[in-house]
Structure 1
Amino acid sequence: MQLGTTSLATKAAGADDGWAKPVRLGRRFGALAVGVAYAGLLMSAAPSAFAQVAGQASSAPIELPSGALGFPAGFFADASPSTALDMVRRVPGFTMIDTDPDVRGLSGATGNVLVDGQMPPVKSVSLSNYLQRIPAGTIERIDLIRGSAPGIDMQGQPVVVNIIRRGGAYSTLAVQSFIKAYPDGDAGPMLRVEASRRSDSLSLEAAVSARNERMQPDSGEGAYSVRTLSGAAVEDGRFATDYWTREVEASLAAEISAGDQVFRLNGAFASIKNDRNETYDIERSPAGAARDRNVIDSETNGGELSAAWEAPVIRGWSPEFLVVSTYERDAESAAQMGRKPVEFSREVSVASETVGRGTATYEAQGGFKLELTAEGAFNSLDVASERTSGGAPVALPAANVLVEETRGEAGVLGSWSSGAGLDLELSGRFETSTISLSGDVQQEKSLSFFKPRLMAAWEVASGLQLRLRLEREVGQLDFEDFAASSDASEGLVSAGNPDLEPELANVVELALERRFWERGALVLTYRHDEVEQVVDLIPVDGKFDAPGNIGDGTRDELRLSLTVPLDRFGISGGLLRFNGAQRWSSVIDPVTGQERRISGERPFEGDFLLSRDVPAWKSSFVLEGDLPYSERSFRLRQIQSLDQGGWWKVYWDYQPRPDMVIRFQLENFTSRERTRTREIYAAARSLTDIGVVERRSAAFDPFFLIRVRKTF
């Protein structure tokens, strides 16, 4: 398979080139030096230029009567934002939770960003993508709401931001294009066009984009080895993976105002094709040199239609109705070839959902609010899987399954805002569903749960707030876990488990928020979960793994969000931001009976940003990075660990004129390395010691990006 302009076969053929490694190292160290120098320049360059803008502070946050903080458009002006997404990411102490298209229904799937007091009428479209459709110039201010505010549905979140667009008539058109230049000569282009038009009675927003680029998290090359537990070499060689994606997306939204009624319509479509090619060049093994390959092709096509109606106020009640329908078809084919008989797998899944939600809100005197909700949904997932080895079919448990669910939920919420810094919210939701399986599995189950929640926010003093959340959470079943699946990249086959039950958790969450220096914020959050029916991996038939319930466990998380304006340190326009989460978990391993971490839990992850806005230069300079993380999963005959290095980038946004922003970006200048380690046992982990340890690494070289955004 030819991927991009350079095939992996060509790369592998050149693996022994004596110059390849020194050149690669030179690129990496050179890029790292550029990144370090950029960070120093960002903090120290041209003090006189920065002095010119001293005292020209942007608009300060506004203390609103509701207790919320309002950030006017001028607050973000020095950073020259292009879209609502750019502005939301600059709200101090706020971390955006994106929409989760895999969550069925609307509760919990909508993120923590509102637009004009309403949740975006989208589900399969990511919140990030939706916010890119809103030009920064059309925004009047962004409110940060902690606890509650009149007329605001918090969507079950303790903190949300509300984007308030300015009134009046306007129209915008923006074109954004970038190209990524990779070290081997390949290029990854992208083009996006956004348009909006707004009047007193009608607003339209549209966006269309296309891209053809590498998926950075999985591309790269590095060492491959298999060792015994004593360290003796079994195999040595090189591993390389190339992963390209081609994507087309289009969306259209309309809002129609007719007197005191508002209608919202939304449509979206996406088509994504991925090509992944993995090559193992074995240089030394008991059988001599060899080559193994995995070729994986996948395609996703889907769309969404939604309609919302905000009805007139009826005797103090404000009713709203929303209907969303989604469709997605995923197809993946994989072939593994080399020393073993050729293995082929294919999986096709078709998922659809139609969900309707009605809400009625009553705002009473004295800060009281009552909200009634009702939601109904029909979901289906049709999965067909097959696998062959050497041309012979391999029997997979629950390979072909049709899953259908009818679900209903009703809830009541009462909240009270004292007006003196104390907000309380008490809610309860009752959910019932019937799930039926047909095909290789004939089964039907009914589930019912009550989900209470208590939230409290107390403004102890100006800029100091305490928050408490007590909640009974009910996890959603992933319908794909009911059917068998194969992962050619990981060399794993998972059986389906129609007996899977949802995970339950009693949650206690405490948060302390401290605001300082107008633009600074510190938020410290601790969360403890008492988990019932932990969903992890269980052995099936002594040879497969499958998602399953492994008993009760605990999860703990400590999160820190820190935003520090650097003006007080003599660096005008400077900003430092850090988000980090430390996690602990505990459950009993179903294979060994010993206590361990829950599979997939990351002990630590975080991100870092250091920026400096220089209005005199019409520029912003940014150093940004995702910190390294690791995770482990525990299977019947192996323990798999993934260690992923940090992903760092530096960029310069230059605005030569008000309607144009040019970005020059060096990405991944530390050459992020991704290492997978598998401790493989000859039999169940409870019966034998580790047989061999397989380790493969892939380091992705730095690359350069130029992005131009032009508005008309």
Structure 2
Amino acid sequence: MRAIAWKLSVGIAAVWASAPALANEEPIAADSAAPATGGQRYTPADFTRFAPRTALDMVEKVPGFVIVTGTNGGDRGLGQATQNVLINGERIANKSTDARSALQRIAAPQVAYVDIVDGASLNVPGLTGQVANVVLVAGAAAGGFRTTIRWQPEWRPRLENNWLNGEISTTGKVSGTQVTLSLKNEANRQGHWGPERRFDSDGNLSFVRDEFASYYGDRPRLALALARTTPGGDKWNVNLGGQLQQIDQRVRGTSVQPGTGQVNEDFRFAEDEVNYDIGGDYELGLGKGRLKLIGLYRFEHSPFVDTFIVDRAVGGRSGERFRQTADESEAILRGEYGWRSAGGTDWQVALEGAYNILDVDAELAVLDPGGSFRPVLFGGERTRVEEKRGEASLTWGRALAPNLTAQINLGAEYSELGSSGPGGLTRRFVRPKGKLALAWKVAPRTTINYQLQRRVDQLNFYDFASSVDVANGQGNDGNGLLVPPILNRTELEVVQDMGGWGNASIAAAYAYAQDLVDQIPLSPTTEGRGNLPPAHLYRISSKATLLLDRLGWKGARINSDLTWRRNRVRDPLTGAWRNQSRGQEYLVDVSLRHDIPGSQLAWSAGYFDERYSANLRLGAIEEDYTDGAFVTAFVEHKDVAGFTVKLSYRNLAGMKDAFDRTVFVARRDGPVAFSESRLRRFGQYFQLTVTGTI
């Protein structure tokens, strides 16, 4: 593996040595022609030093801006905008495409400019803070098809080489209709290895288990997008997509245990998922405004099998298997009508309906002496969850003063939720929600963003179904009494444009949360997912880019993304305040990039560290964390036969994956049964990224 990567790096370096220089060496700064809504405008000339291949390469280089990923796919329905990227002033309404994927499919020459504006100044409900609006060149696709390519192989020690991670997409016009066809595979070949120490109730070492884990997956997705604007100004989009997901995860452990001798353990998870989606929208002028109609249907078939087998020198073989087949479907219809009234006030009325179904068939089986798995009853063999949900909202937005804009959204959600699983019943909810967003430009380079929001979150349908963790001998009972969480939150953000020095922002947020979902007792002997008493959530975050040109280091910049959180909840077992299970505590992401003047070369170094609080079950405390920080470095050439080539050396500091678990005799307010401490390393490895357009 190291020999292959060394040959690649030597070959790439040889090409770099004879590369031509870049034309523009000026530090990136906002264009003097600011967008009409205020904010900053960046033209293609501002990104010349980076030789961008796609729109993603451009947006990622905007000082102080971090793309908010996600597709709203984890939530049912479409709702308001959830990503901080617009394309031609419109949100990405396809649930299967996140902002990064959409930008990756746009070639850099198709971008006219990028505006960074305040979300409250736009007539797009849901947006607050800094938003990137990527405006395309009119008729950019008229000159024929343009294909973008991203290939990202990895070579990791002791694991299969990952050659299949990447994406290819082509965009062009056919008879006036813009066509985008893409094939993407989010492939991974990951794993780690190392000791796990087992201690008795008094903390004495019982034995050491040597473990090796591999996590392999391929997720090829084929998608087709069609878009057209009619001579009369009507717009329509159609999106089709299908995906296969093949996941194979395996953990093998070997130990010598008192009384049983050598013990070999083998855990395996395998899933073969098939999903597809079809959606579209049509926008037309109607009266004084424009009406947009959106429709979407998606389906997912995901069978998986967990198997855990133990072979003992004394005691023989035992094992368990948990098998589950889940079918999910979602149908959405949404209508949005927006108009501008006298005085410059923007209005939008939105109505949405969604119908969601989850069908789960599950089986728990135990290995018999003959070597066959025999099903046993566990109480969660069949669960069906149905939800009929509707929401209505009204959005009002306008400039209150030349330097102050406001947006108010008022809405309500109706949900009829039924479950046939454990404790299943049908219930109906009506919940108001809304948001107030303000953007105040207190000085030419200083903006204050404020929002006050009541947000209704959605439940994970799988929490209604029972499940079994065969590897750890525990599980969850389904809970048919779950109710959706509500967050009443407020946030204040200050954004400072530092001109040639860069850009920085700092934000503070607080939320009074009701009915958060965590582990709760469902009976004196069982547990599952349930709602907690009111909780308090705190966050302080900062994003910044410091340009070092004025310090004499031409072409260098430091990017930072910092977050600190405290999510304080009432423990359902003890009643004491504690951190929310698996809640983020902090994130530190800092990188230095240097685009060497007079060359096509760049290099970078990055530092990443993140910590989550422990997961508290009623009978165990599980802490999943990393030992050390993730440090990476790369070298990049921006023109290797027309492609950008980046070679990364990752995990330079030797970060390890750690896991500590304390298991109690009954509940965790009682005596300890045993504890485990795991430390797995995954070594340093190489990653090659090749991007370009043809």
TM-score, normalised by the number of residues in structure 1: 0.88
Structure 1 residues 334 and 55 mapped into 2: Cα distance closer, same or farther (>3 Å)?
Answer: closer
Give the letter for the 1:119 counterpart.
R
Shift of 1:57: 4.0
Q: In structure 2, which of residues 547, 550, 564 is the aligned counterpart of residue 582 of structure 1?
A: 564
Write the deviation string for residues 283-319 of structure 1: whole angstroms up to 9, x where unpaired: 454533311110111122212111111102x332121
Measure the CA separation in 2 of the matches of 1:167 and 1:364: 28
| SS of equivalent residue, structure 2 residue 134 | strand
Write the deviation string for residues 232-259 of structure 1: whole angstroms up to 9, x where unpaired: 1012121210111122111111111112
Aligned partner of 2:223 in structure 1 is 251
- 1:456 correspondence with 2:445: no
After TM superposition, the structure 1 = structure 2 runs for residues 356-505 of structure 1, keeping only pairs within 5 Å, are 356-390=333-367, 391-418=373-400, 420-438=402-420, 442-488=424-470, 491-505=473-487
Measure the CA separation in 2 of the matches of 1:710 and 1:144: 25
Q: In structure 2, which of residues 211, 218, 224 is the aligned counterpart of residue 239 of structure 1?
A: 211
| SS of equivalent residue, structure 1 residue 60 | coil
Q: Give the conservation status (yes or no) of the 8 Å contact 2:322–2:468.
A: yes
Q: Give the conservation status (yes or no) of the 8 Å contact 1:254–1:265.
A: yes
| SS of equivalent residue, structure 1 residue 671 | coil
Q: Give the conservation status (yes or no) of the 8 Å contact 2:28–2:500.
A: no
Which stretch shifts more, 474-483 or 123-132? 123-132
Q: In structure 2, which of residues 238, 241, 251 is the aligned counterpart of residue 278 of structure 1?
A: 251
Structure 1 residues 683 and 185 mapped into 2: Cα distance closer, same or farther (>3 Å)?
Answer: closer
Aligned partner of 1:85 in structure 2 is 56
Structure 1 residues 506 and 707 mapped into 2: Cα distance closer, same or farther (>3 Å)?
Answer: closer
Give the letter for the 1:385 counterpart.
A
Write the deviation string for residues 511-543 of structure 1: whole angstroms up to 9, x where unpaired: 111110246121111111111122111123344
Measure the CA separation in 2 of the matches of 1:88 and 1:58: 12
Q: Give the conservation status (yes or no) of the 8 Å contact 1:367–1:418.
A: no
Aligned partner of 2:679 in structure 1 is 697
Q: Give the conservation status (yes or no) of the 8 Å contact 2:27–2:500.
A: no
Extract structure 1 runs of 4+ deviating beyond 4 A: 49-55, 439-442, 488-491
Measure the CA separation in 2 of the matches of 1:692 and 1:56: 61
After TM superposition, the structure 1 = structure 2 runs for residues 53-68 of structure 1, keeping only pairs within 5 Å, are 56-58=26-28, 60-61=30-31, 62-68=33-39
Aligned partner of 2:647 in structure 1 is 664
Measure the CA separation in 1 of the matches of 2:271 and 2:93: 28
Q: Give the conservation status (yes or no) of the 8 Å contact 1:176–1:708.
A: yes
Structure 2: where are the runs of 5+ without partners? 10-16, 368-372
Aligned partner of 1:627 in structure 2 is 609
Give the letter for the 1:271 counterpart.
L
Q: Give the conservation status (yes or no) of the 8 Å contact 2:81–2:127.
A: no
Give the letter for the 2:78 counterpart.
L
Aligned partner of 1:14 in structure 2 is none
Measure the CA separation in 2 of the matches of 1:499 and 1:161: 41
Aligned partner of 2:13 in structure 1 is none
Structure 1 residues 487 and 300 mapped into 2: Cα distance closer, same or farther (>3 Å)?
Answer: farther
- 1:120 correspondence with 2:96: no
Aligned partner of 2:180 in structure 1 is 205
Q: Give the conservation status (yes or no) of the 8 Å contact 1:370–1:414.
A: yes
Q: Give the conservation status (yes or no) of the 8 Å contact 1:430–1:448.
A: yes
After TM superposition, the structure 1 = structure 2 runs for residues 497-576 of structure 1, keeping only pairs within 5 Å, are 497-518=479-500, 520-576=502-558
- 1:106 correspondence with 2:81: no
Measure the CA separation in 2 of the matches of 1:90 and 1:368: 33
Q: Give the conservation status (yes or no) of the 8 Å contact 2:346–2:397.
A: yes
- 1:139 correspondence with 2:111: yes
- 1:263 correspondence with 2:236: yes
| SS of equivalent residue, structure 1 residue 102 | coil
Shift of 1:489: 5.3
Measure the CA separation in 1 of the matches of 2:291 and 2:299: 27
Write the deviation string for residues 418-456 of structure 1: whole angstroms up to 9, x where unpaired: 452101111111110111223666521111100021111
Give the letter for the 2:251 counterpart.
E
Q: Give the conservation status (yes or no) of the 8 Å contact 1:673–1:698.
A: yes
Give the letter for the 1:56 counterpart.
E
Structure 1 residues 161 and 211 mapped into 2: Cα distance closer, same or farther (>3 Å)?
Answer: closer
Give the letter for the 1:158 counterpart.
G
| SS of equivalent residue, structure 2 residue 613 | strand
Measure the CA separation in 2 of the matches of 1:154 and 1:165: 22
Q: Give the conservation status (yes or no) of the 8 Å contact 1:608–1:626.
A: yes
TM-score, normalised by the number of residues in structure 2: 0.90
Q: Give the conservation status (yes or no) of the 8 Å contact 1:305–1:325.
A: yes
- 1:187 correspondence with 2:157: no
Q: How many residues align?
A: 665
Q: Give the conservation status (yes or no) of the 8 Å contact 1:78–1:614.
A: no
- 1:155 correspondence with 2:126: yes
Q: Give the conservation status (yes or no) of the 8 Å contact 1:563–1:576.
A: yes
Which stretch shifts more, 428-437 or 666-675? 666-675
Shift of 1:660: 1.5
Give the letter for the 1:691 counterpart.
A
Shift of 1:229: 5.2
Q: Give the conservation status (yes or no) of the 8 Å contact 2:512–2:536.
A: yes
Aligned partner of 2:331 in structure 1 is 354
Structure 1: where are the runs of 5+ without partners? 6-26, 36-45
Measure the CA separation in 2 of the matches of 1:683 and 1:214: 38
| SS of equivalent residue, structure 1 residue 502 | coil
Q: In structure 1, which of residues 590, 597, 602 is the aligned counterpart of residue 584 of structure 2?
A: 602
Measure the CA separation in 1 of the matches of 2:321 and 2:209: 24
| SS of equivalent residue, structure 1 residue 429 | strand
| SS of equivalent residue, structure 2 residue 463 | helix
Aligned partner of 2:197 in structure 1 is 225
